[in-house]
Amino acid sequence: MSVILEMLKPDFLLHHAVWGSVVVGFVCPLVGVYFILRRLVFWGVALPQVSASGIAFAFMLQGLGLNFLAGGEAREKHLAIVGALVFTVGTILVLAALERRGAGVSEGRIGVLYALAGATAILFVAWNAAGETEMLGLLKGEIVAISESDFHAMLDVFAVVAACMFLFQREFTLVSYDRDMAVTLGRSVLVWDLLLYLIIGVTVSLGVMTVGPLVIFGFLVIPPMAALPWAGGMLSFSILASILGGLSAFAGFYLSYAHDLPLGPVVVCVACCVYVLSSAARLVSPRSS
């Protein structure tokens, strides 16, 4: 209990990391519920890896002398965000177009994409000897060392993402669940799809920059999976998944800090424990009979 009280103090040395992790834990499941609804869970695996590849590509360009955004740590991070966003949103649009055409095997496509993104990220890092150490730090996530300005910028962006997910929930749900009905009701499926894809791209790109690909994948998929058996509708599904993600992040940070363990793997393991407990409770719940 003393450790938790220490973490909650305003002058706690890592308070930006605590609340940054919790915010990522709250917001990412709001986006991840649509991966579950659209049966695109493997997108949650591949997109963070694609985002990491975009970060590595942007830094590789700088290492090759195309340093048009170089000149300071802040500009290097802006360059990394641009690379991650371009790669992620571009990939989402290509995948969405292929899904709408029904071409090929969806799972196979995602598998190939994941392998390609992982391989190219390593190659891009290998071709940039000048910034290899710093780039690897960004790819692993630097939430523990996040600065004051980056913390507030992250809060602003994720606040907009969360607001959009609640304000436009009816439209996002309709175009995800029943596209024919959406057209009948006069909704522009393409516009709402593009807005949802843009929000997914921003969330994944910024999340990879702050906590790394592994944690982002965990928050996108595991809390929604734990919340799904207990959801009575899309609003309760989103809220419950968000709460489980935020609590997992806080508990994971506590265990990591108290026992001097790496933050990302601990957070993911805690989220998995929550999923196991939720599944076990569902099996013995009267609702399961």
pLDDT digits over 157-180, tens only? Answer: 889 999 999 999 888 888 887 777
Task: Report how far residue 229's alpha carbon sits from residue 223's, in angstroms, rounded to the nearest whole number.
Answer: 11
- pLDDT over 60 (residue 145): yes
CB-CB neighbours of 48 under 10 Å:
28
pTM: 0.81
Question: Side-chain half-sphere of 71: how many Cα atoms within 13 Å?
Answer: 6
The string of pLDDT tens digits covering residues 34-78 is 888 877 777 777 888 888 888 888 878 776 666 655 556 666 677
Query: Which tokens sit at 85?
Result: 């966003």
Query: Which tokens sit at 103?
Result: 């071409």
3-class state of residue 146 by DSSP = coil
Say what the pLDDT of residue 227 is: 93
- pLDDT over 70 (residue 136): no
Residue with tokens 């391989």: 119
For the ranges 52-56, 146-150, 160-164, 212-216, the one whose mean pLDDT is highest: 160-164
Query: Which tokens sit at 125?
Result: 């890092």
Q: Is the dihedral of CA 7, 11, 17, 22 positive or negative?
A: positive
Following DSSP, what letter does each residue of 68-107 receive, concatenated?
Answer: TT-SSHHHHHHHHHHHHHHHHHHHHHHHHHHHHHT-S-HH
The one-character DSSP state at 64 is T
Average pLDDT, the chain: 81
